[in-house]
C-alpha cells in the first residue's frame, strides 16, 4: 500500500517538474513512510512519484517507480494484486523471468505481454500510473471495486494525478476551490465521485483506465471491468455454497503478506466471519484487534469475546473515552483528505493497529452493502409507494419538524439520486440554501442533476438498495474514509468482501434468495452458521459505532451555537443539543463553518 502521484507536462522544465513531484511526495509521506522514489524521463515530460509502504517483498527490490528490464516501461503502483502469484506462474510459462517477489513487477510484465487487456486480469485493490516509452503514452488505472482512490486533472495540456487531493494543493498548478463541495457535503454527508473540493480535479471511475497521448496531449477514458446484477442463482443451497467458497477463497488471498497482518474485530457478523475464517489458515499467527468504550452501553465486548475465545491467534483490545476523542480531534480532522462526516472510528482503530505492530489489517467493509445489512433494504417498497404521491405534496414535508421526515422532499426528484438522499441524505435543498445563503433553484439543480449510472434504473427491491449502498454510500463515504484514515497511520486496510469473484457471486444471486425481510444478511448467516456464535447474528444490528451523539454535544467546538456565523446553522446546532439532529449532520455544519 502506497501513495502515487505525478505530472505529465511539456511546458515546465525538468527541474521544475521534478521539484513539484518531490513536494507532492512529501505531503503524502504518511501514506508511504518506508521509502520515496521519483522517476523522470529524459525530456522531462513524464515525472512519476511514489511513497512506499512495504507489504510484499520488503527488500529494496520493491522500490518504486519500478521499470521493465529494458527500462521502456515504468510504473508507480498503489495497492495489492491478490492473484499475482497465479499471473506470475503464467508469465513464467510464457518465458518471462522475475527479479523481485513483488506484485508490482507482475503488473509490468503482464502489461508487456497483454497490453491494456492485462488490466482486467488483475484481481485486487489498486491504482497505478504506467508510462510506456515505446508509444509515448501514460495510463492511469483504478481497480474494479474502486477501493483505492485516484484523482486527476487535465488542464492546458498538462496531466496531474495523485492518491490524495492534498497533493494537488501543494503543486505549482493553480487549482481553484469548487464551492459546490459544500452543497454536496450538506446533501450527501460526503463529496461524491467524481467531484472533489477542487475545480477540474476528478476521481477516475472505478474499473476504468485513462490513456494520455504525449504526442498530441489528448486522452480517452475506457472501462476494463464492471459488474452487473442478474438472477442466475435461484437455489438457496447453491447460493450458500458459492458464498462460502468465494469468501473463504477471498480471505485466504487477502492474508498474503510479508509484514504483520491482522483483522479488525468489531463483534458484528462481517468482522466475526473474517476472523473465524482467517484463524483457520493463520492459526497462532493471526492478530485480531478491537476497540471498546468506557461507556458500556456502546460496547460490543461480549460479542467480540465469543469469537476470540475460539481462535488460536492473539487478540488485543483498546479503550476509547471522551477525553481521548477530544485530545485527537484536531489531528483526525487534519487527516481527512476532503471533508467528511465519518471516519473517526477508522482513525482510532488504525492508530491502534499501528501501535500493535501491524502493517495490514482485514476489514468487514462491503458485507452490509452486498448482503442486505442496512434498513434501506427493507424500505424500498415504501419508497416506491411514496414516489407515486404528487410532487407538491412530497415537497411539503420540508416543513415537518422532524429532520428525518424532511428528507421525503428528495422523493420529488425524477433522478434516482433522490431515492438515495431520502435513505441517507442529510439536509434538504431549502435548508442547504438557507445554511449557505444561496439560491434554492441552484441547489435543487445541482443535486437533482447528479450523474448516476443508468443501471440503477433497471433494478428494484433489494438489488436497487444494494446498488445505492455500494455505489454511493460505500464508494464515496466508507472506502474514502477508510483509505485516508488508515493511510494517515501507514496502515493498509484490506476488504475481502470486495474481492472481484465474491462481488460477481453476490450479484448473480436472485434477490429472493439473497435478502430477507425478517433477518439482515440472512445468506451470510446461513453460509457460516456452523462457526458463527448465534448471539453475534441473532441480535439487533449495532454497527461499529462510538457514542458520538453524546461526545459531540459535550464538545464546544462543534456544539456551541455562538461559534457559527449563520442564523440557520445556529438554530440547527441548538436542535442538535436537544437531540433533534444527528451528530453526523452537526459534524457537516462544523466543516462548512470552518472552511
For the chain, give every domain's residue range.
2-223, 236-372+461-542, 547-595
| Res 54: pLDDT | 54
Answer for the pair 592, 585: CB distance below 8 angstroms, yes or no: no
What is the distance between the alpha carbons of residues 160 and 5, in angstroms, rounded to a whole number? Answer: 8
Domain 2-223 in this protein, CATH class: alpha beta
Average pLDDT over residues 527-549: 80
pLDDT level of residue 261 (50, 70, 90 thresholds): confident
Residue 46, Cβ density class (10 Å: 0-12 exposed, 13-18 middle, ≥19 buried): buried
| Res 31: pLDDT | 59
Q: What is the 3-state secondary structure (H, E, C) of 288-342?
A: EEEEEECCHHHCCHHHHHHHHCCCCCEEEEEEECHHHHHHHHHHHHHHCCCCCCC
Residues facing 158 on adjacent strands: 155
| Res 202: pLDDT | 98
In this model, does residue 544 exceed pLDDT 70? no
pLDDT level of residue 389 (50, 70, 90 thresholds): confident
Q: What is the pLDDT of the chain when averaged over all its residues? A: 92
Domain 236-372+461-542 in this protein, CATH class: alpha beta
Angle (deg, nearest 10), helices 429-436 and 567-577:
120
What is the distance between the alpha carbons of residues 178 and 445, in angstroms, rounded to a whole number? Answer: 16
| Res 156: pLDDT | 86
| Res 259: pLDDT | 76
By C-alpha distance, which of 113, 74, 75, 84 is closest to 96? 113
Average pLDDT over residues 518-535: 92
pLDDT level of residue 297 (50, 70, 90 thresholds): low
The DSSP 8-state label assigned to residue 357 in this structure reads: T
Average pLDDT over residues 277-303: 81
Amino acid at each position: 500500500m502506497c501513495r502515487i502521484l505525478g505530472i505529465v507536462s511539456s511546458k515546465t522544465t525538468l527541474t521544475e517538474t521534478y521539484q513539484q513531484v518531490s513536494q507532492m511526495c512529501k505531503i503524502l509521506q504518511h501514506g508511504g513512510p518506508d521509502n520515496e522514489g521519483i522517476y523522470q524521463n529524459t525530456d522531462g515530460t513524464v515525472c512519476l512519484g511514489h511513497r512506499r509502504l512495504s507489504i510484499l517483498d520488503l527488500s529494496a527490490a520493491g522500490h518504486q517507480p519500478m521499470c521493465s528490464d529494458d527500462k521502456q516501461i515504468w510504473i508507480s503502483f498503489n495497492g495489492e494484486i491478490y492473484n499475482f502469484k497465479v499471473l506470475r506462474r503464467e508469465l513464467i510459462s510464457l518465458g518471462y523471468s522475475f527479479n523481485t517477489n513483488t506484485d508490482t513487477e507482475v503488473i509490468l510484465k503482464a502489461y508487456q505481454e497483454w497490453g491494456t487487456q492485462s488490466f482486467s486480469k488483475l484481481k485486487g485493490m489498486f491504482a497505478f500510473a504506467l508510462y510506456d516509452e515505446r508509444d509515448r503514452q501514460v495510463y492511469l488505472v483504478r481497480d474494479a471495486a474502486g477501493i483505492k482512490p485516484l484523482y486527476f486533472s487535465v488542464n492546458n495540456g498538462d496531466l496531474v494525478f495523485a492518491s490524495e487531493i492534498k497533493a494537488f494543493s501543494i503543486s505549482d498548478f493553480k487549482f481553484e476551490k469548487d464551492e459546490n463541495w459544500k452543497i454536496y457535503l450538506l446533501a450527501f454527508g460526503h463529496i461524491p465521485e467524481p467531484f472533489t473540493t477542487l475545480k477540474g480535479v476528478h476521481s477516475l471511475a472505478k474499473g476504468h483506465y485513462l490513456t494520455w497521448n504525449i504526442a498530441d496531449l489528448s486522452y480517452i477514458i475506457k472501462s476494463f471491468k464492471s459488474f452487473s446484477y442478474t438472477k442466475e442463482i435461484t437455489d438457496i443451497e447453491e447460493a450458500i455454497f458459492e458464498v462460502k467458497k468465494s469468501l473463504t477463497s477471498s480471505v485466504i488471498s487477502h492474508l498474503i503478506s510479508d509484514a504483520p497482518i491482522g483483522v479488525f474485530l468489531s463483534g458484528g457478523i462481517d468482522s466475526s466471519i473474517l476472523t473465524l475464517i482467517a484463524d483457520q489458515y493463520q492459526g497462532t499467527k493471526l492478530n485480531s484487534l478491537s476497540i471498546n468504550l468506557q461507556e458500556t452501553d456502546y460496547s460490543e465486548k461480549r460479542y467480540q469475546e465469543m469469537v476470540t475465545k475460539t481462535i488460536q491467534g492473539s487478540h488485543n483490545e483498546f479503550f476509547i473515552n471522551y477525553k481521548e476523542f477530544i485530545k485527537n480531534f484536531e489531528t483526525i480532522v487534519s487527516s481527512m483528505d476532503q471533508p467528511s462526516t465519518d471516519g473517526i472510528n477508522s482513525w482510532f482503530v488504525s492508530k491502534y493497529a499501528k501501535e500493535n505492530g501491524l502493517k495490514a489489517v482485514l476489514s468487514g467493509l462491503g458485507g452490509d452493502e452486498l448482503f442486505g445489512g442496512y434498513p434501506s433494504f427493507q424500505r424500498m417498497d415504501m419508497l416506491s409507494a411514496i414516489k407515486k404521491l404528487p410532487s407538491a405534496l412530497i415537497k411539503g414535508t420540508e416543513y415537518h419538524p422532524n429532520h428525518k421526515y424532511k428528507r421525503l422532499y428528495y422523493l420529488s426528484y425524477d433522478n434516482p439520486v433522490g431515492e438515495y438522499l431520502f435513505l441517507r441524505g442529510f439536509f434538504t435543498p431549502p435548508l442547504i440554501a438557507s445554511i449557505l445563503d444561496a439560491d434554492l433553484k441552484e441547489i435543487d439543480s445541482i443535486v437533482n442533476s447528479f450523474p448516476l449510472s443508468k443501471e440503477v434504473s433497471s433494478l428494484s427491491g433489494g438489488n436497487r438498495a444494494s446498488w445505492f449502498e455500494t455505489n454511493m454510500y460505500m464508494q464515496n463515504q466508507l472506502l474514502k474514509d477508510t483509505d485516508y484514515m488508515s493511510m494517515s497511520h501507514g496502515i493498509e486496510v484490506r476488504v475481502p468482501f470486495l474481492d472481484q469473484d465474491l462481488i460477481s457471486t453476490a450479484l448473480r444471486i436472485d434477490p429472493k434468495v439473497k435478502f430477507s425481510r425478517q433477518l439482515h444478511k440472512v445468506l451470510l448467516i446461513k453460509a457460516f452458521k456452523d462457526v458463527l456464535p448465534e448471539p453475534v447474528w441473532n441480535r439487533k444490528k449495532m454497527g461499529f459505532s462510538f457514542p458520538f451523539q453524546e461526545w459531540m454535544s459535550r464538545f464546544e467546538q462543534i456544539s456551541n451555537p455562538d461559534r457559527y456565523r449563520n442564523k440557520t446553522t445556529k438554530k440547527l446546532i441548538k436542535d442538535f443539543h436537544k437531540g433533534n439532529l444527528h451528530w453526523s449532520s452537526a459534524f457537516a455544519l462544523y466543516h462548512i463553518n470552518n472552511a
